[in-house]
Structure 1
Amino acid sequence: MKINWGTGIVIAFALFISFILYFIIKVQTNVKYDNELVVEEYYKKDAKYGDEMIRIQNAQDLKQKPVITNDSEGVAIVFPAEFTPKDIKGIVSFYRSSNKKFDFVVPISLSNSALKVPKEKLLGGRWEINMEWQYEGKQYLTKETIYVK
């Protein structure tokens, strides 16, 4: 049987589409491939983006900003001495972009001007730190990236 050009092209397209569909199905059904969203409820988060920018600007307008440091003991967040520690409320979110299972949140509850997160809670690698806090009725958002060895 002789195959002409038109039939050959149709067969080639059918094989290519089958090949692509095979890999799509394999990736979607195999638990080894993690295809989660980066952020749950992405559209709700995006709708609040303007408010987030205001809180970031509030944090940048401070004369003295909180300092996030990474050392051999873990992560330390030090607030300026001009703030009353017990009046600072909020949360610190540690976000691991490589695996959602390692994300955790630490509430801000201070007796002195520093908050410490022990190194045992942090795996080696890149961490995104989002610190959402308020002081005297004004809301702030501080974002920083650290690398833990």
Structure 2
Amino acid sequence: MNWGHKIIIVFVVFAVGILTLVTKSMRTKIDMVTKDYYAEELKYQQVLDGKKNAGTLSSPVLISQQSEGIAVTFPQELHGTGITGKIKFYRPSDAGMDVEMPLQLSSDGMLVINRQLFHKGNYLVKVQWENGGKPFYQEESFHIN
């Protein structure tokens, strides 16, 4: 085999490698943080205000795992008040595993979420609520076993 054939073989192998990389990259699923990223960015001042207001509470919102599900417990001073808002369990590795629901608290300021809605792994829990016209926001990492 002469050197001309070897150059052609190198070019063919290179072209096949590039086509393989392009094909794999086109098939890779890419999840954005949120679908409406720019609209969320415009509302970020509300998040900052909510974090500041949540810092004034006697204790943070507690999130724990129990046998019946994931328990979300609000501070004592918010029990029985008209809290409206939502909780989102954001799964960074797969947007299809995100869980979002409205806050529907019991009289003792607790929300229990069915464990069957979740897959094992890491979540970023974002709790956003309003009470007395003031926005509140809390965010924390949480691992579900």
* Same-fold call, TM cutoff 0.5: yes
CA displacement at 1:37 relative to structure 2: 1.6
Unaligned runs of 5+ in 1: none
CA displacement at 1:15 relative to structure 2: 7.1
SS at match of 1:85: coil
Distance 1:50 1:123 in 2: 32
Q: Match of 1:138, as an amino acid? A: K
CA displacement at 1:86 relative to structure 2: 4.7
Q: Match of 1:87, as an amino acid? A: G
Matched with 1:54 is: 49
Greater RCO, 1 or 2 (C-alpha within 8 Å, sep 6+): 2
Q: Structure 1 residues 123, 18: CA separation in 2 closer, same or farther (over 3 Å shift)?
A: same
Distance 2:81 2:130 in 1: 11
Q: Structure 1 residues 20, 143: CA separation in 2 closer, same or farther (over 3 Å shift)?
A: same
Q: Match of 2:24, as an amino acid? A: K
Matched with 1:100 is: 95
Distance 1:38 1:110 in 2: 27
The sequence identity of aligned pairs, in percent, is: 27
Runs of 4+ residues deviating >3 angstroms = 12-22
Q: Scaled by the length of structure 1, what TM-score is found?
A: 0.77
Q: Structure 1 residues 138, 13: CA separation in 2 closer, same or farther (over 3 Å shift)?
A: farther
Matched with 1:122 is: 118
Matched with 2:137 is: 141
Q: Match of 2:123, as an amino acid? A: W
Matched with 2:86 is: 91
Distance 2:87 2:41 in 1: 20
Q: Match of 1:23, as an amino acid? A: L
